Structure 1
Amino acid sequence: MASDLDFSPPEVPEPTFLENLLRYGLFLGAIFQLICVLAIIIPVPKSHEADTEPSEPRSGEARKPKAAAPSTNKRPKKEAKKKR
């Protein structure tokens, strides 16, 4: 009976290329998520240059708004002439 028991380790196939790619991709995704969470938790000090710029108008804001284009749905009314 003791000779019937097999205590050898089970055969584990070598991981394929796609399995390795998936494993390392998951590791990279987890590291990216940790970096994103740390970026939210840890505050970044603002420079003094950024504090003075908001009082100046930006180049995009300095433009004047465009005149409203006439809508294409409204057509000028035609005058009907009676020929009687």
Structure 2
Amino acid sequence: MASNLDFSPPEVPEPTFLENLLRYGLFLGAIFQLICVLAIIIPIPKSYEVETEPSEPRSAEVTRKTKATVPSANKRPKKETKKKR
């Protein structure tokens, strides 16, 4: 009975090129996702900000933009009614 047991490892086929490509692509995608999540969680101080003073102060007239009157979507032009005879 003991002579009938086969303890050799099962035969596993060699992975193909596409299977390897898929496996490494999934690893790279997982690493990219971890980096993105860590970038959201860990705040990075912005020490490179440089405060610059405007060389020429702008007047209120330049910064103020003119707004064109836009009819609101709720207001529809009144339809002309036909005159009764």
- Range of TM-score over shorter length: 0.5 to 0.7
Aligned residue pairs: how many? 76
TM-score scaled to structure 1, two decimals?
A: 0.57
Unaligned runs of at least 5 residues, structure 2: 71-85
Q: % of aligned pairs identical?
A: 72
- Root mean square deviation, CA, Å: 3.7
Tell me by how many angstroms 1:48 deviates: 2.8
Deviation at 1:51, TM superposition (A): 8.4
List structure 1 segments (4+ residues) > 3 angstroms apart after TM superposition.
Answer: 50-53, 61-66
Report the 3-state secondary structure (helix = DSSP H, G, I; strand = E; otherwise coil) of the residue aligned with 1:13.
Answer: coil
Provide structure 1 residue ranges, at least 5 long, that are not aligned to the other structure.
69-84
Q: Distance in 2 between matches of 1:49 and 1:11?
A: 64
Task: Give matches, 1:20-31, under 5 Å.
Answer: 20-31=20-31
Aligned partner of 1:44 in structure 2 is: 44
Map of 2:80 onto structure 1: none
